[in-house]
A = this chain, B = another copy of it.
Amino acid sequence: MRTLTRNMLAGALAGLLMLAAMAAQAADPLPSWNEGASKARILAFVEAVTQQGGKDFVPVEDRIAVFDNDGTLWAEQPMYVQLFFAIDRVKALAPKHPEWKTQQPFKAVLEGDMKSLAASGEKGLVTLVMATHAGMTTTEFEKIVRDWMATARHPTTHRPFTKMVYQPMLELLQYLRANGFKTYIVSVVGVSFKQPWTQAVYGVPPEQVIGSTIKTKFELRNGEPVLVRLPQIDFIDDKDGKPVGINAHIGRRPILAFGNSDGDLQMLQWTTAGAGPRLALYVHHTDATREWAYDRKSAFGRLDKGLDEARVKGWTVVDMKQDWKVVFPDAK
């Protein structure tokens, strides 16, 4: 009796799910994408891997899609959002650090001297990140990020950074999830800087966020367990690090990878080297009017080797100007 009821329920559910899927298919799942080769390839891929009994069918548990963040899901010009955060934090913390007035790279930040800041190079950058991202508990840092994200604005568009996301990519994430994909973010941005807001902004839960990490240390403070963020780099999730992070975190190879720079090249190589259907995509920033136009020579999000390899391997290069009807949400 119980088995019968269960089977009947399962049958009814399956039927309804199929109807729901058909209804979803009837509408355009990617309304902000212009008709063209990029959109057609995405639609064809998703249809192929979800077609039960088809030669390219992929079981739902293997439908893993990975997305870079900066320049792929949101804007990265004139510089990475996490850098704006670090700079704002230096300014906020400066009263407690009088020594910063004469110490680089802090002096440069406080004086708005971007040239000296750039000259401080990677070492300066790491010093800046450690001074602003470590020394507090994970819970405290999460609140700092949330509070900043709620009030910070992009310097030229004056939008909140969470509104500098790409509308076509929001639709793609949603479309993939509606087709059984698990969507992951894999980017050099610190994992703790992303986790507080990815669910609200992208619909990606914190456990599907992979990124750079600093070391943390468990402590009991008056009997209360805390995790303290230490000024020590643990892992850099960029270039070679992306497949490493994906493997450690997910334990299986994605079937779809979407990036926008040479920092994503190894992730696309790793994804496409698996058996069966694979889709690799690059956002090419070609739209100086609605966003920015840059590729081979950009300081942030350089796309050079990746662009060449995409052409050789036939990866999909999404031309922002041609392929996207709108760029940002609420800007239709």
The interface of chain A, by Cβ under 8 A from chain B, is 2, 5-6, 9, 12-13, 16-17, 19-20, 23, 26-27, 61, 64, 138, 182, 191-192, 195, 199, 205-207, 209, 213, 216-218, 220, 224-225, 227, 240-241, 243-244, 247-252, 266, 269-270, 273
A contact patch SS? helix
Q: Closest chain B residue to A240 by CB distance?
A: B218
Are B269's CB and A225's CB within 8 A? yes
* Distance in angstroms between the alpha carbons of A13 and B21 in the assembled complex: 13
* Distance in angstroms between the alpha carbons of A283 and B12 in the assembled complex: 40
Q: Determine the chain B residues whose CB is within 8 A of the CB of A247 once the complex forms.
A: 138, 216, 227
Are B9's CB and A20's CB within 8 A? yes
* Distance in angstroms between the alpha carbons of A269 and B2 in the assembled complex: 40
Q: Determine the chain B residues whose CB is within 8 A of the CB of A61 once the complex forms.
A: 199, 205
Copies of the polypeptide in the assembly: 2
Are B2's CB and A27's CB within 8 A? yes
Are A224's CB and B273's CB within 8 A? yes
CB of A206 to closest CB in B, whole Å? 3
Q: Closest chain B residue to A198 by CB distance?
A: B251
Are B195's CB and A218's CB within 8 A? no
Q: Determine the chain B residues whose CB is within 8 A of the CB of A6 once the complex forms.
A: 20, 23
Are A270's CB and B218's CB within 8 A? yes
Are B273's CB and A206's CB within 8 A? no
Are A217's CB and B191's CB within 8 A? no
* Distance in angstroms between the alpha carbons of A6 and B22 in the assembled complex: 11
Q: Determine the chain B residues whose CB is within 8 A of the CB of A17 once the complex forms.
A: 13
Are A250's CB and B16's CB within 8 A? no
Given A206-B250, A227-B247, A251-B191; A19-B9 close (CB under 8 Å): yes
Q: Closest chain B residue to A196 by CB distance?
A: B251
Sample 5 A-B pairs with CB under 8 A, ordered by A number: A9-B16, A16-B16, A138-B247, A191-B251, A195-B251
* Distance in angstroms between the alpha carbons of A190 and B241 in the assembled complex: 19
Q: Determine the chain B residues whose CB is within 8 A of the CB of A244 once the complex forms.
A: 216-218, 227
* Distance in angstroms between the alpha carbons of A27 and B224 in the assembled complex: 40
Q: Closest chain B residue to A17 by CB distance?
A: B13
Q: Determine the chain B residues whose CB is within 8 A of the CB of A5 once the complex forms.
A: 23
CB of A71 to closest CB in B, whole Å? 21
* Distance in angstroms between the alpha carbons of A6 and B191 in the assembled complex: 36
Q: Determine the chain B residues whose CB is within 8 A of the CB of A269 once the complex forms.
A: 220, 225
Q: Determine the chain B residues whose CB is within 8 A of the CB of A266 once the complex forms.
A: 218, 225
* Distance in angstroms between the alpha carbons of A212 and B17 in the assembled complex: 39
Q: Closest chain B residue to A199 by CB distance?
A: B61
CB of A276 to closest CB in B, whole Å? 15
Give the residue among A13, A213, A224 with the most B Cβ atoms within 10 A. A13
* Distance in angstroms between the alpha carbons of A220 and B199 in the assembled complex: 34
Are B13's CB and A16's CB within 8 A? yes
* Distance in angstroms between the alpha carbons of A266 and B227 in the assembled complex: 11
